[in-house]
Every structure is written in structure tokens, then in C-alpha cells.
Structure 1
Amino acid sequence: MNVVLTHPTGNANVRAVLAALVKAGALAEFDTTLATDPTAGWLKLLPGSVRNELLRRTFPAPLDKIQTHPFREVARIALPKLGFKQLVRHEQGWASIDAVYQEFDRLTARRLPKLAGQEKVTAVYAYEDGALSTFKQAKKLGLTCVYDLPIAYWELGRKLMFEEADRLPAWAATLGGGIQDSAAKLERKTQELELADIVVGPGSFVMDSIPAWASDKQTVMAPFGSPITTAPRRTLASTTNRPLRVLFVGSMGQRKGLGDLFEAVKLLNRPDLELVVMGSPLAPMDFYRSQLASFTYEAGRPHDQVLALMRSCDVFCLPSIVEGRALVMQEAMSQGLPVIITPNTGGADLVQEGKTGFLVPIRSPEAIAEKLAWFLDNRNRIADMGNLAQAHAETYTWNGYGQTVVDALRAFHQKQDKPQRMAVQPS
């Protein structure tokens, strides 16, 4: 097995698959837009903000196994800072994230014939929105196409988002790409899935969203890993001497169920509850204050500071309508917070009911309010629940995630390579 892994920007789950492929000796090449050698001396000469941005583009693979296609991604990062925001406009801009993905996909596809010959490639592993050209070329070369679907398949996601726009029209503007994607973009997603031989997803919500017409695809469910933490265990005193701090982290839109959480807080109307919201606004702050005046807003910050904020809170709530598997759930649990989440977060397996938190249905402010009231009335149990949540989160590791994916790919190829025995009739 020899795999070309591709992703334009990289993230924690990409790095885990990359590390597992390297460990297994199964990486032919990793294609991305930007990659930085963290030991390079010239990094020290750059301004701190630029240096930190580049250090986010480091990957656990030998540099000679990494191929970069940087031009349009550099433009996407730089142009808004120079005042050219129109050039990164959703789908339409020359340097939009969609344009970056599509050009990256085309450039990767062009490399495949050479790689297939030199590196004896057997499979390509690509992600939603950046796989179509790569998969088309891979099929011509007889390579296995592995499709990573990090969020629910578009047909289900779009259906749920349009329902949200009708249910909570005031929040429709915060739904973003879920209802704005063009027909051409949706068709590319459909073709990507059609060409896939294997589909990888992070949880049952994503896997269950795969349409019936693609039921013949080999599927691999691999839950994401949790951050390694040194957070201390919770104590009773740390959760009972102030208002209950309920934390929401994520983009501030109704895809994440923020409107339902606001409504739940209004239903309770309890002075001993403080809602802390950290994330990127998708509407003017005046809009959010018109929906709920009394919440504490926290701006985005470096990851270690996010974890510190989590430790200052008591309960984490994410009542999402559509997700893949929100990593922030396991991050919050790793810092000792029990959770209130919906099955559509992709993290139903994280909830041991009444022990690590509670599972609530989507679109139910009443159910959220009921669980928040339970925490308010049972402050003495929060520390123990937080410690159970932390211990449960620790059972999900990035090494385990990457190994699950690589083991599944190896098993698929061994099955494909196994010679078929022909039945011989006796003469």
C-alpha cells in the first residue's frame, strides 16, 4: 500500500492520518498548499503574527515527501489584508477558498501519473471539495479513491439548513454556505462521492448521512482524538462558589444551534447562570444582543488560551443542527466539563447519560433548559461529572484515529489483492 494524501490547508485529523501513513511506511506523497520547516532559521526574522501563521503549516512527514502548491493560498491569506476582500468572496472570488481548493485539486491530479509510476502509488486520499480532479485521474490510473467526509453529506446538511431558515428566519443570515452553495459546487460534491471507493467519516451522524445510492461504498468510521491535557481534576469548590458558567464555542450561527441555546437561557431566566460565548460572529453583535442581552462574549484566541477559558467554566453546551464531529466537544471534556450536546454534533458516543453529560434532541430549547436547570440544581455533582468526562475524552487519541484509518485501508487493499479462486468441476 502506497498512498498520496492531499489536503489544501491541513488540520488535526489530516496530521493524524499523515503521521499514521508515515509510521506504516505507506506515504507516497503529501500534497498541500503551504508547508513550513519549523527548524528553519529564517522564521525568526519574521513578525510574530506571520511566524505563528506559518508554524500552523507544519506537518509530521519528511520534507521530501511534501509537495506544495502555494500561489493561490498565499493570495487568499494576503489579499484581504491589502483591502481586496472581493477577491476572496464566497465561490466567486479568484482567491476564494473554493478557488484554492479547486486549483489545488487540479495541480495534484496532474502529478498523479508521474507519482503512480515512480512511487508505485495504490491509492489517493482526498477530502470533500478538493477531490474531484484527483479522483478522475486516479480512476484512469486504476488507483483506489479514499474520500474523507468531515461533515454530514451535503444533501442532509442542506435540507436541515433550509428547515432552520424557515423555523428561525431571524437567524437565516448566520447559516452561511449551508444554504448559499451553488448548484455547481453541490454537483462536484456528488461526483466526488460517486468516484469514491472508500468513505471515511468521524462518527455515526456523518456515516448515516451517506445517501442510499452510495450504500455500496466501503465505509470507515474513525472518531477524532482528544487533546493531550494536563488539566487538573475538578473539585467541588471550583464549581459552586459563583454563577454556573455555561460555555458555547464555535461560529456564532444557527448551524451550531446558538439560537436554541439563547432561547433556553431566556426560558430559564436564572440570575445564577452565566452564558459564555466564544467564537466568530456571523452577524453584527447588535443582532446577538437583540436575541439575548445577557451573555458574555469572548473573542477568538490561541488554542492554549481557549483551553484556559474552558477550565474557567462549568458546563459545555453545543446544540448543533449539522456537524461532522465538533472537536471542541472533546476539548471541553478534556478540561473537565460535562457536556450538553445533540446527536447531530457527531459526538453521541461521548455522552454517558447523566455521567459525562446529556444528549438532547435538535431544535429543543426546552430540553436544553431542562438540562441546564438540572446542573443548576445539582451543583455538587458537576465536579465528579467533569472528571468522568475528562477520563472518557482521554480514551480517544489521535494515534488511535490515524491507526484506525490506515488499518482499514490496508485491509481493503489486502482484500483487493487476494487472488480469486476458481471452482474446478471434477471430470
Structure 2
Amino acid sequence: MKVLVSHPTLNANSKNLINGLLKEQQLFKLFTSIAIFPGQILYKLGNNPKLKDLKRRSLDTAWQPYTRSKSFFEFGRLLTSKFKLDFLITHEKGFFCIDRIYQKHDNWVANTLAKAKKQGLSGVYAYEDGALSTFIEAKQLGLYCIYDLPIGYWKSSRSLMQKEFIINPDWSSTLTGFNDSSKKLNKKDQELALADIIFVASSFTKKTLEEYSGDLAEIKVIPYGFPEVTAEKKYPPLVNRKLKVLFIGGLSQRKGLSYLFEAVEGLQDKVELTIVGQKAVPNCASLNRALEKHKWIPSLSHDQVLACMREHDVFVFPSLFEGFGLVITEAMSQGIPVITTDRTAGPDLIKDGEDGWIVPAGSSKALKEVITKILEKPELVEKFGLAAQNKAKTRPWSVYGKEMADALSSLSFIKNWDKWI
């Protein structure tokens, strides 16, 4: 099968999908917004400290023959953000908002499909919020519509998060995921309805789709890969010092933050909690008060994140609704045992009580019980940390890429088999 991959902004999982398709000679084209390759003027401009973000958009030179890009709106969004012109990126309405970028990109890809089919295209692989026009055109042309849902289904999200308004009203202002218009939500449902197969990265994400009201295509769970294990973690004895606990992520109640703060309350003489991430909103009094009690770092580069992980004993990710949680795999790859919830990819990656811990979402009591257990048996940090890192070695990103390519190849076989019979 020859697959066109459509993703306006690219991320770790989409890049490793492309690597897998390239290796198996299944990539037809990559359509994205900004594509910068070594040797180009934009790449060289990235050497300027003020323009260093450009380097983050650089791609492997092996991709260059397959890559098509249209960058006007995405460059506009990046510059608008840099100069704090927030009215231009207002949710769903701003001229350079992320919704417009996805819509423009989707329409562009759709308009290329007729010609691409004549050149051997078999299917299109598109992501949530950027697939509708592409899928409508693909259906008319008889192309496979392959959908990627990176986070749980929106109805499930609203159902679960609505409970937090009642349980933790003081944190409700940080729940910003209720701003999508009915038009946007309907578009998500239309994309799902048109898909011939749906890929998700966790069993939890698949479960959330049970709230979809219509019939869906096959839902296939293929977890993302782990970063390469390159650093050896040192485990200093927990003697005459506090247990160093780390959280990294957006600072909102969707990440279960109030439960983490409750879990360490009363343990300040034994536990040092570090929070890394940017506030979802600036003026949540409960969040601000909690951050004053602990060490807060607003942002770190990716390399700094990995180094920060290695400096801590335990990583806690108490999310209430997460499609995957790449920080889980990052922490495990650094030899850090992870405590996370049953609403992340944790159950797909961690064997509870052997290389990490899975707790019920929304339970500060369960979090505290695990932290207390570690304090009572500090040798668990090294034992579980080494086990976590060993697991990371068994599933590098290349495994994800290969599994995705194999799954897409099987689609082609099924399609051809249907023709033969």
C-alpha cells in the first residue's frame, strides 16, 4: 500500500510513522506545513538564537523527495505567538489559529488526491481535526481513509471532566477543553464516520470511543515507542534526604494535579515535589497556592526534561484523561519508575507492581499509598527504575514504525483479497 500522510505540524509519533513507512517502501508523500532540511536557508537561519525554533522543524534529508509543504499560515501562527498577538490565534476564530491551519491544510491535501491516485496512491493517513475534506474526496476516489485519534473521544472527555466541576470547583477554570464549538465537534464525528480504520495509541483511547453513537470501523491499538535508552541512571541512597518526585505536563486539572498535591500533603518533610509545565490559565488561585509550596519550573527544553527526569526518584503522571502520555515513556527510558493512572497508556506499558504503578484516576489516596510504600521500601526506586528502563529497550520507536507499516500493509492485502474473491 502506498500511503499519503497528512499532518500540518508533525510530532514524535507522526515522524516515527513516516520512518516506518519509508523503511517498508510504503510512503507515497508527506504533506505538512513547515518542512526544513539541512543546507536550506531557513535551516541556516536557525543558527541565530532568536530563530532557533526553526531547527525544531528540520526533517531528515531522506524525507525530502517525498515531502510537500505550505507554510504561510503555520509561520504566521508561530510569529503571532512569538510577538504575543493573541487576537490572531483566538480559538477557532483567529486568522492564524490552529483550527484554520488544520482546515487550510486539509483542503489542500484533498485537492491533490485525484492526481495522486493516478500516480499510485492507495490511501490517506490523516489526524483528528485535519481529515474531513481529505476523507470526503478520498471516498469518492476509492482510496482508503486511515484515521489517527491521538487523544480520547471528545464526548467521553466531557463526561469525565464535567465531574471535576462538581468535585473540584476551585480548579474548574483550568479545564479549558470545553471551548470547542458544536461545528468543530460535529466535524470530529464526521471524520470518525468516514474512516476505514482507526488507529489509537492506548486501550484507554479505544475505550472512550464506546461513547460514539454510530457504527465505527475497526479500532486498532498500537502504542507509541520509547525514546532510545542512552543514559545510565544513578540511584543515590534515600538516606538523609527527601524522596524526589517529579511531574511534567500542562498545569490543568485534566492532568489530575489537585490529586497529586493532596497526595503529598503532610509528607513535605519526606517528599520534595517538582512541577514542570506552563499554567493552563494564569489566575487559578488553588493552583497558584499549591505551586508556592513546591518547586515550579515553567518550561524546559526536551534535553533538559530528560536530564531533569534522571535527577529525580519517581515520576508521577496522575492524568484524568490522556490519549497516551509521552512523558511516561520518556521517564521509563531514563530509568525512572512511573506512577500513573488507568486513563493513560500506563496499563499498556507498565506491569503494575513490577516496573511501575497504576492507580485509579482521581484518587489522591491511591497516589499517597504508593508514595508511602516507596518511602517505606526505598529500594523499590532502583528495582522498578531498572525494570522500566529494560522495558523501554524492548520497544524503541522503530518497533512502533514497523508495527504501523505492517498494519497498513495488511489493509492492502485485505483490499486485494476482496477483489480476488
> TM-score scaled to structure 1, two decimals?
0.93
Residue aligning to 1:52:
52
Q: Which amino acid aligns with 2:91?
A: H
Cα distance in 1 for partners of 2:370, 2:360 equals: 12
Deviates more, 1:226-235 or 1:133-142: 226-235
* Contact map agreement 1:239 1:383 (CA 8 A) in 2: no
Structure 1 residues 41 and 89: alpha-carbon distance in aligned structure 2, compared to 1, 3 A threshold: closer
Partner of 2:353: 354
The residue that corresponds to 2:72 in the other structure is: 71
Q: Which segment drifts farther, 396-405 or 76-85?
A: 76-85
Q: CA deviation at 1:174?
A: 1.1
1:277 match: secondary structure: strand
The residue that corresponds to 2:414 in the other structure is 415
2 CA distance for matches of 1:332 and 1:120? 41
Tell me the SS of whatever aligns to 1:125: strand
In structure 2, how many angstroms separate the alpha carbons of the residues matched to 1:74 and 1:316?
A: 35
- CA positional deviation for 1:216: 4.5
Q: Deviations over 1:326-350 (max 9, x none)?
A: 0001111111111110010122132
Task: Point out the more displaced range, 217-226 or 130-139.
Answer: 217-226
- 1:53 deviates by 1.5
- Give the distance between the partners of 1:315 and 1:368, measured in 2 at CA: 12
1:281 aligned partner, one-letter code: K
* Paired residue secondary structure (2:111): helix
| Structure-2 residue corresponding to 1:425 | none
What is the alpha-carbon distance in structure 1 between the residues aligned to residue 99 and residue 367 of structure 2? 36
Number of residue pairs the alignment of both structures matches: 418
Work out the CA distance in 2 between the residues paired with 1:421 and 1:396: 36
Partner residue, 2:134: 134
8 Å CA contact 1:262–1:292 kept in 2: the answer is: no
Deviations 1:18-76 (A, max 9, x none): 11111121111100000001233663345534543222223344312111111111111
Decide which moves more: 325-334 or 162-171. Answer: 162-171
Cα deviation, 1:144-164, whole Å, max 9, x if unaligned, reads 000001111111112112122
Structure 1 residues not aligned, in runs of 5+: 423-427
Deviates more, 1:75-84 or 1:127-136: 75-84
Runs of 4 or more, structure 1, over 6 Å off, are none
Q: Following superposition of structure 1 onto structure 2, how do residues 27-176 of structure 1 map, counting pairs within 5 Å? A: 27-40=27-40, 43-46=43-46, 48-60=48-60, 61-117=62-118, 119-176=119-176
TM-score by length of 2: 0.94
CA distance in 1, matches of 2:89, 2:50: 19
Equivalent position SS for 2:159? helix
Distance in 2 separating the partners of 1:47 and 1:412: 43
- Once the two structures are superposed, the pairs formed by residues 314-329 of structure 1 within 5 Å of their partners are 314-329=313-328
- Residue 354 of structure 1: how far off its partner (Å): 2.0
1:296 aligned to 2:295?
Answer: yes
Identity fraction in percent: 39
Q: Match of 2:413, SS?
A: helix
Aligned residues of 1:161 and 1:179 also touching (Cα < 8 A): no
How has the CA–CA distance of structure 1 residues 421 and 116 changed in structure 2, closer, same or farther, with 3 Å as cutoff? closer
Displacement of 1:319 after TM fit?
A: 0.8
Q: Cα–Cα, structure 1 residues 36 and 241, in superposed 2: closer, same or farther, change >3 Å?
A: farther
- How far apart are 1:419 and its partner, in Å? 4.7
Q: Is the 8 A contact 2:233 2:310 kept in 1?
A: no
Gaps of 5+ in 2: none
Q: Distance in 1 between matches of 2:154 and 2:172?
A: 18
Report if the CA contact (8 A) 2:124-2:144 is conserved.
yes
2:174 and 2:281 in contact (8 A); partners too: yes
Of residues 274, 277, 285, the one that matches 1:279 is: 277
Give yes or no for contact 2:192–2:216 (8 Å, CA) kept in 1. no
CA contact (8 A) 1:360 1:367 kept: yes
Structure-2 change in CA distance of 1:34 and 1:421 (3 Å):
closer
Structural mapping, 1:237-386, within 5 Å: 237-266=236-265, 268-284=266-282, 287=285, 288-291=287-290, 293-386=292-385
RMSD: 1.8
Residues 290 and 216 of structure 1: is their aligned pair in 2 closer, same or farther, counting only changes over 3 Å? Answer: closer
Contact 2:150/2:324 (8 A) holds in 1: yes
Q: 1:298 to 1:348 in 2, by over 3 A?
A: same
Contact 1:316 1:338 in 2 (8 A): yes
Q: Which amino acid in 1 is paired with 2:252?
A: G
The range that moved more, 382-391 or 184-193, is: 382-391
Deviations 1:96-120 (A, max 9, x none): 1111111111111111111111x21
Q: Distance in 2 between matches of 1:18 and 1:239?
A: 43
**Residue 193 (structure 1) aligned with residue 192 (structure 2):** yes
1:318 and 1:341 in contact (8 A); partners too? yes
Q: Structure 2 counterpart of 1:378, which letter?
A: K
On the 8 A contact 1:3/1:121 being kept in 2, the answer is yes
- Per-residue CA deviations over 1:168-221 (Å, capped at 9, x if unaligned) read 111111111x21111111001000000000100101001112236555512221
Structure 2 CA distance for partners of 1:192 and 1:247, relative to 1, 3 Å: same
Distance in 2 (CA, whole Å) between partners of 1:64 and 1:272 is: 56
Query: d(CA) in 2 for partners of 1:111 and 1:50?
Result: 35
Q: Report if aligned partners of 1:350, 1:356 keep a CA contact under 8 Å in 2.
A: no
Post-superposition shift, 1:240?
3.8
| 1: CA distance, partners of 2:59 / 2:252 | 31
Native 8 Å contact 1:36 1:58 kept in 2: yes
Q: How far apart, CA to CA, are the structure 2 residues paired with 1:390 and 1:34?
A: 34
- Give the Å deviation of 1:241: 4.7
**CA drift at 1:375:** 1.1
Flag the 1:122–1:75 CA change in 2: closer, same or farther, 3 A: same
